[in-house]
Amino acid sequence: MSDAVKGLTRQQMADRMAFEFRDGWIVNLGVGIPTMCSNTDLGDVDFIYHSENGIIGYGPVAPVGEEDLNLVNAGGQNVTMKPGGSVVHHADSFAIIRGGHIDATVMGAYEVSMGGDFANWKLKGQKGGGIGGAMDLAACAKRVFIILEHVTRRNEPRLVEKCALPITARGVVTLISTNYGLFEPTGTGFLLREIAPGLTVDEIRATTGGVLTVADDLKPVKLAG
Amino acid sequence: MSDAVKGLTRQQMADRMAFEFRDGWIVNLGVGIPTMCSNTDLGDVDFIYHSENGIIGYGPVAPVGEEDLNLVNAGGQNVTMKPGGSVVHHADSFAIIRGGHIDATVMGAYEVSMGGDFANWKLKGQKGGGIGGAMDLAACAKRVFIILEHVTRRNEPRLVEKCALPITARGVVTLISTNYGLFEPTGTGFLLREIAPGLTVDEIRATTGGVLTVADDLKPVKLAG
Amino acid sequence: MALKSKEVGSFREAIADIPDGATIGFGGFAMPGVAFNLIKALLDQGAKRLTLVGNTTGGAQVPRMPDMGMLVENGQVAKVICAFTAATRPTDVLPFTKYYESGECDAELVPQGTLAERLRAAGAGIPAFYTPTAVGTELAQGRETRVFNGREYLLEHALPLDYAFIRARRSDTFGNLQFHRAQRNFNPVMATAARVTVVEVDEPVLPLGAIDPDQVHCSGIFVHRVVQVPPEPEGLWPTRRQERRR
Amino acid sequence: MALKSKEVGSFREAIADIPDGATIGFGGFAMPGVAFNLIKALLDQGAKRLTLVGNTTGGAQVPRMPDMGMLVENGQVAKVICAFTAATRPTDVLPFTKYYESGECDAELVPQGTLAERLRAAGAGIPAFYTPTAVGTELAQGRETRVFNGREYLLEHALPLDYAFIRARRSDTFGNLQFHRAQRNFNPVMATAARVTVVEVDEPVLPLGAIDPDQVHCSGIFVHRVVQVPPEPEGLWPTRRQERRR
C-alpha cells in the first residue's frame, strides 16, 4: 500500500482498532497490519498480548542486537517479554483460544461479508492455503476485529455481500477497520460508524459491496494524539 | 489380615508382583498392599513410580519430621522425590495414564474373573462408591496386576468365574498375586503358575471359583532374598 | 501502564459474590493444594443449592480439614460431582455417604481421569470427547459409546465451573501461579474451567516480573482473585498425616 | 539403582532406525524449537515415503534453515500434515507449493489449534474430540459435525506419531526437558504423541536431580534419545531474522 492510497494510513487503521481494547483484555494480533496495534499509545489501558505459539504478555520488538532468538511472536518477530508474562505449549495456547479466553483477535482479511463471514486463508484457485491459527481464533475469540484495505488494487470492494473466497469462519466479525472508515457487519449490511478524513459517504458506498447504512451519529475516525 | 492367614504375607504378595517389574518401566501403585511393592529390593532394575496426582518418580515415605506436607502419593502418604522426578497437573497425569504410558498398574480388588474382569470400587448394595483413578488405570495401563487375598473372611473365593460386584474394567487383568500363589486369567480359567509354601493344588482349587488349570512348569512362588 | 493487582484482603471478600446455585470446583488431592481457608469462608458465607466439583467429598483423613463434605453437612449443597462418594477402604465411612444414601444430597460419580479431562475440556473449548475409561462398567450403562480403530470409547462432556477455589505456593499480582510438588494436582485445570478463579497462596504476593515466565504453572489470565494465607492459627495449613481410624 | 542415560552421541545415530513410511512430527514454530540438526541428519539418512507433521512446510524465512519442505524436495515425503501449505502472505511462495500442486506430494491442511489438539489427544488416549474450529468452512465439507448446547462442532481424530523431532534448552540424562520461551511451542505435545521422541538440546546434558521437578516442561517418560547440539558451524542454531523477500 503506497501513500497514494486514500484515507487512513496503515498505522491509523491499526490505531483505530486498538482504541477498542479495554482494560484487562487478552488480545491476539495477527501478522501484518494488526501487529501495528502494538505501536498505539493507549495510555492507562491495561491488556495482555497473547501469541498463538504460547507467549502470553509479550512486549515490543527487541532492539537489534538484543534479540532473544528463542522468543518470537506469531509473525516470527523477535519480541520481548513484559513483566507478568508467561509461556505455555501449543496445545495449551490453543486451549486458551478455543476456550474463549481471548477478548479480541485482530486479523487481516481478503474479504468480509455483511453477515460477518470473512476470508483470509486461501486465494482463488489455490490448492491448499495458509490457515495457521486463524480459524481457531476466528471461531473462538470473543471479538473478531478485521483490518483491511477498503478496496483491492483493481478498486474492487473487499466489504462484500457474500464472500467469494473460501471463508475462515462464519458470522464472527465484530468490527472492521479500513482506510475508509470503521464498519460493523449487521447481517443485512455494513454500518458505517466512523468515516476517514477526505472520504465521502457516496464514495464509500460506491466501493462497498452489499448494503451500506450510515450511523445516525456518524463521526470522523478517531485518530491518535 | 493376621499372621494366621495361609500362605504368603502381604509383603511377600507385593514382593512377588514387584519381581515382574522390568527395566525402564513406569509403574503406578494403588493404595493398600500394592504400595508395599516399593519396599521390595529389585537390585539393578530401574523404574519410575507414577502417582495419579501428578508425581512422577517418587521415592520412599519421608522420615517422621522430615515430611514435605505438599508431597504425597495417591494414598496421601508423605513421600519423597527421587532424582529425575517431575510434576504435572491432574489432566496431564491422566493423559499419561489414558495415553498408555503406564507399563504396569498394581491394584487391590474384591474379585477377579477368569476373563480378566475385576471389581474394586463398589460394595454390594452400596450407593455410589470410590472409583478414584482405578477405572482410568485399569482401562489404559499396559499391564494390570492385581494383589488380593485369595479368599474372603468367610472363606469364599475372590477368584471367580464371573464378578458379582460391579466391575472396574473388563478383560484387562494380566496377573494376580494372592497369598496362595501367582495366577493368570486365561479367559476360560485361572492358570496357577506359582504356588505358595504350605499350599496344595487341591486346596487352591477348592477355594478358587471357575476353572483352575496348573502350569506344566508349576514352581514355588518366587520370594525375596 | 501496569497491570492491576488481583490481591484481595480477605477470604470473605474474595468469595462474597457467590450466589445460591453456583457450581464451584475445589482443587486439591489429599492435603496438598486444598483451599482450606476459602472453604471455611464459604461455610460462613452460606450460599445454598451449590454444585460442588472435586476429587472427593472428604472426611477420611485425620485430622479433618475443611472439605466439600462439610459444606454438605452445613446444608449448602444440592449435588456433588466427584470420584469418591465412598472411601477407598470399605472400612472407612465418609461423612457424605449418609447424605447421599438418604437422598439429601445428589451425586455424580466420575472416574478421576475423566473428571480432570472434563474440566480441561471446559477450559479448552472442547464440548465433548471420547475416553476408554469406564467402558463396560455400570457407569457406562445407557450411555453413548463409539468404536474407533476397533476399541470402544465412551462419550464424555465438558464440565464448566462458575468458580474455582484453589491453593498455590506463590502468585504475582497478575495471578501467575507456582505450585509446590503435589500441590499442583487439579488446581491449574480447575482454573481454566472456571469463570472466576479464587486462589489462596502460601507466600506474600509478588510484584510483576518476579516469576520467570518459563516457570509459571498457571497463567494469570485464568486467575481473578488472590488472597494470602495468614500464619496459623488464623490461617489453615496442611497438617501432618495421622494414622487413619480403622 | 540409577536411571540409564538417554544421551546419544550423534544425530545420525539418534535417527538411524527410522524406516520408510514412518510418521514423524516436527516441533518448532518459526526459528525457536525446530530440530534443525535432526532434520539435516534425516536428509542424509534418506528414509522415504514419510508422513511429516508440523506447523508449516517452511521456506518463507531468510536465511532458510532445515525444514520439512527440504525433505519434500529431497524426495523423501509422501504426505505432509500441517497448518500452512502456502505462506501467510500471498506474495510469499513456499517451495512446497509446487510439489503439492503437481501432486508429487500429498497434504492435509489442519488449523493450527486442531493440529496441536489432535497431537495432544494422541498422547492422552483420547481417540476423538469435537471442536468449533473450521465449522462452516471448506475444511468441514462432507465431515461429521454435531450440535452441543446449540452450537455446531466438528469431530476431529487423534494424530499419533512414530517419531517426534524436537529441540529444548536443557535435558537431564532421563530426558526431563526445559524449554526457553517460545522454544516450547509444539515440542512437549509432540513428545507425548510419539512412540519415539528424539531431542536436540542446546546445553550439555545434566545429571539426574539437576532440574527442579516442579520446573520440568516435558517429563522424561516421553523422551527416548537426547543429543547435544555442538557449537556453530558444526551445529545449527536459530539465526537472526532477516527481512523477508517480498
CATH at residue B51:
3.40.1080.10
Q: Give the residues across from D56 on adjacent strands.
A: D84
CA distance A166 to chain D (A): 6
Contact check, Cβ <8 Å, C221/A98: no
φ, ψ for residue B92, nearest 5 deg: -70, -35
Reading the block at residue D67, the C-alpha cell is 525444514
Query: Which residue in the set C120, C131, C241 is minimally distant from B77, CB to CB?
Result: C241
pLDDT, one tens digit per residue, over D148-206 is 999 999 999 999 999 999 999 999 999 999 999 999 999 999 999 999 999 999 999 99
For residue B70, what is its C-alpha cell? Answer: 505438599
Mutate to test the interface with A, among D112, D118, D222 (most CBs of A within 10 A): D112
Instruction: Specify whether the CB–CB gap between B175 and B145 falls below 8 A.
Output: yes
Residue D125 has its nearest CB partner, among B50, B83, B99, at: B99
pLDDT (0 to 100) of residue D246: 39
**A38 phi and psi angles, rounded to 5 deg:** -75, -10
Q: In whole numbers, what is the pLDDT of chain D averaged over residues?
A: 95
- Whether D128 and C214 lie within 8 Å, measured CB to CB: no
How far is it, in rounded angstroms, from Cα C240 to Cα C72? 25
Q: Do B86 and D1 touch (CB under 8 A)?
A: no
How many CB atoms within 10 Å of residue B89?
A: 26
Mean pLDDT of C45-68: 93
Confidence of residue A224 (pLDDT cuts 50, 70, 90): confident
pLDDT digits (tens, 9 = 90+) for B147-189: 999 999 999 999 999 999 999 999 999 999 999 999 999 999 9
* Cβ within 8 Å, pair D216-B87: yes
What backbone phi and psi angles, to 5 degrees, belong to D41? -65, -35
Whether the CB-CB separation of D208 and D174 falls below 8 Å is answered with yes
Residue-level length of chain A: 225
Angle at A56 between CA A51 and CA A61, to 5 degrees: 65
CA distance A120 to B105: 49
Q: How distant is the alpha carbon of residue A99 from its chain centre?
A: 20
Count the neighbouring beta carbons within 10 Å of the beta carbon of residue C164: 33
Domain that holds residue B126: 10-220
**Separation CA B21–CA B40 (nearest Å):** 11
Is D84 in the A-facing interface, judged by CB distances under 8 Å? yes
What is the rounded CA–CA span in Å between residue A168 and residue D136? Answer: 8
Residues 6+ apart with CB under 8 A from C191: C123, C164, C166, C177, C197, C199, C218, C222, C223
Confidence of residue C243 (pLDDT cuts 50, 70, 90): low
Of all residues in chain C, the percent with pLDDT exceeding 90 is 88
SS3 for C117-171, per residue?
Answer: HHHHHHHHCCCEEEECCCCCCHHHCCCCEEEECCEEEEEEECCCEEEEEEEECEE
| CB atoms D84 and A122 under 8 Å | no
Residue A4: what pLDDT? 55
Contact in structure between B138 and B128 (CB atoms under 8 Å): no
* Pairing, β B144-147 against β B173-177: parallel
| Pairwise CA distance, residues C95 & C74, whole Å | 12
Confidence (pLDDT) at B1:
41
With beta carbons less than 8 A apart as the criterion, state whether A120 and A168 touch.
yes
Distance from CA of C210 to the nearest CA of B (A): 22
Q: Give residue D1's pLDDT.
A: 45
Q: Is the pTM of this model over 0.95?
A: yes
Q: For helices C112-124 and B90-98, what crossing angle results, to 10°?
A: 120
CB contact under 8 A, A130 and D88: yes
pLDDT of residue C245: 46
Q: What pLDDT, in 10s, does the model give residues A50-83?
A: 999 999 999 999 999 999 999 999 999 999 999 9
pLDDT digit string (tens) for C8-54? 999 999 999 999 999 999 999 999 999 999 999 999 999 999 999 99
Domain tally, chain A: 1
The neighbouring-strand residues paired with C156 are C129
Predicted ipTM of the assembly: 0.97
Looking at residue D2, its pLDDT comes to 65
Cell of B164: 458379582
Catalytic residue among B52, B111, B149, B194: B52
- Summarised one tens digit per residue, pLDDT across range B63-82 is 999 999 999 999 999 999 99
The answer to whether the peptide bond before residue C230 is cis (omega within 30 degrees of 0) is no
Which 8-state DSSP code applies to residue B109?
-
For residue A136, pLDDT beyond 60:
yes
- The stretch D72-88 carries a mean pLDDT of 94
Domain ranges across chain C: 20-109+160-227
The pLDDT mean for chain A works out to: 95
Nearest-CA distance B186 → chain D (Å): 26
Model confidence at C94, pLDDT cuts 50, 70, 90, reads confident
Assigned domain for B4 exists = no
B52 is catalytic: yes
CB B26 within 8 A of CB B101: yes
Residue C126 burial by Cβ neighbours in a 10 Å radius (0-12, 13-18, 19+): buried
D188 touches chain A (CB under 8 A): yes
CATH placement of domain D20-109+160-227: 3.40.1080.10
**Which residue carries 483420547 as its cell?**
D126
